Amino acid sequence: MNTTEKALMHGLFVHLHHNIDKVIDFKGFQELNRQVDKVWPGTLVIGPEENDDAAVFQVPGMKGFVVAKMESHCSPCVPRPYDAAATGAGGAMRDVVAMGGRPVFLLDFIGTRPLEQEVIVGPCGFSGRCDCGKCKVMTSQERLNIMIKGLRDMCAVMDVFIVGGGFSTSFSDIVPAVVVAVFGKLVTEKPLTKPAKKAGDKIIIIGVTGNDGNDTLYRAGLVKEMRPALALFQEEKTALEAAMAAFGTGKIKACSDLGAAGIGAAVCESARYGSLGARVDLSKVPVSIKGITPQEILICETQARYVVHVAPESVDEVLRAVQSKTDNAAVIGEVTSDDKEVFEYNGEVIVVIPNNPSKETLEDLRSSK
C-alpha cells in the first residue's frame, strides 16, 4: 500500500464514519422494523441496514415517499462554526438528493457550553489556547449565533424549511454538538440506491472539486494543514438543480453524494456494494484551483458534488440535462467487472483499492493511527 491507498482504505474499512455497523446493531433495528411492519406493512423501503445515503419510507395514507437523513458536523464547528453548520445541513440535503429526493424540511439540534463561557474559534480551538494569532475568543452565545446563521443561510439558498429542533447548554466539551435531520420528497420513480448496477456503466461527476475538506489526507500526514470543507451556497443549489435535471431523464442507475473521503469513498463504496469494480481518470474531474494534486482530487470533501451512474447509450442525454443547469459535469470513469477500484491521473495509476482487503491488511490499517 502506498500512503494514499492506506489513507483511503483506513477511511473505508476502519474509520467509523464509513463503518457505523461495526458499533451499532443494525440487525437489532432490522428485527424491530420487521415487528413494526406488521402494524404498518410496506411503509419502510430503505432502512439503516441498507447502509445507503438516506432512508426512504412512506407515510401511511399519503401518496409518494419520504427521504430522510440525519448528519452531524460537530468537530468542524471548532475552527469554522459558520461553514461547519452550513455544510452539515448541506451534506444531509445532498444525501436526500442522492436517493432521488428533493429536500424540503430540516430539524436541528445544537448543544454547547453555557452561553457566557468563552470559547476559542479557529485553528487552535481544540487545544484551548491560541498559538497562531489567527483565532478569535468569543462567548458561547456568539458562537451559537454564528452556527445558527450557517444553518439558516444554507436553508435559505436551498429553499428548505427549518421546522424545529432542540437546544442545550449543558455541554462541557470543547466540541459543540451540531446535528441536523433533513426530510424530502422522492422525485424519482424509485430510490436511486448506492450500489453500482452493471459493468460498463459510465460514472459522471456533477460539481467542482477543490482542496478543502482534506481531513482524511491530514490524518494520513499527506498535507500539513487541515482545511475543513467550505460551505458553498449557490454552488449547492446549482448542483441540486443539475441533479434534478439528470433525474428527469429517467436514466440514472445509481447516485452518491461526495461526502467524507470524496470521490474515492463514493466510487469505492458504490462499486463494492454492487460486487463490481471501477476505473476512474482523476484528470477528467472539474477542479476549482490550479495546482491541486491527484490525491486531493481523489479524497477531498469539497461540497456541492454528486456522482451518477449511467448506461453508455444514455450519457449524452444525461449530460445535456445536467449542462442545462451547470457546465461543471464530466464523465470520469466506468464501472468494471473487477473486484477493485483503480484511480489514475494522466495515465499514471495513483491508487488501487481492493473490495476485500486481506486480513493482514485490515490488521495493519487498524493498528495505524
Which residue's C-alpha cell is 498535507? 223
CA distance 174 to 29: 32
Measured at the alpha carbon of residue 288, what is the angle toward residues 282 and 294, in degrees to the nearest 5? Answer: 30
CA distance 237 to 171: 33
Which one, of 70, 58, 60, lies nearest residue 96 by Cα?
70
For the chain, the structural domain boundaries read 53-186, 202-367
Distance between CA atoms of 64 and 68, rounded to whole angstroms?
13
What are the tens digits of pLDDT across the range 1-15?
899 999 999 999 998
pLDDT in tens, the chain (369 residues): 899 999 999 999 998 888 898 899 999 999 999 999 999 999 999 999 898 999 999 999 999 999 999 999 999 899 999 999 999 999 999 999 999 999 999 999 999 999 999 999 998 999 989 999 999 999 999 999 999 999 999 999 999 999 999 999 999 999 999 999 999 999 999 999 999 999 999 999 999 999 998 988 988 888 888 888 899 999 999 999 999 999 999 999 999 999 889 999 999 999 999 999 999 999 999 999 999 999 999 999 999 999 999 999 999 999 999 999 999 999 999 999 999 999 999 999 999 999 999 999 999 999 875
* pLDDT tens track for 144-164: 999 999 999 999 999 999 999
CATH architecture of 53-186: 2-Layer Sandwich (3.30)
Please state the CATH superfamily assignment of the domain spanning residues 202-367 in this structure. PurM-like C-terminal domain (3.90.650.10)
Q: Please, which residues bridge with residue 107 across strands? A: 164, 181
Size of the chain, expressed as the number of residues it contains: 369
How is residue 231 annotated by DSSP? P
Under 8 Å CB-to-CB from 159, ≥6 apart: which residues? none
- Say if residue 150 is exposed, middle or buried (CB neighbours under 10 Å; 0-12, 13-18, 19+): buried
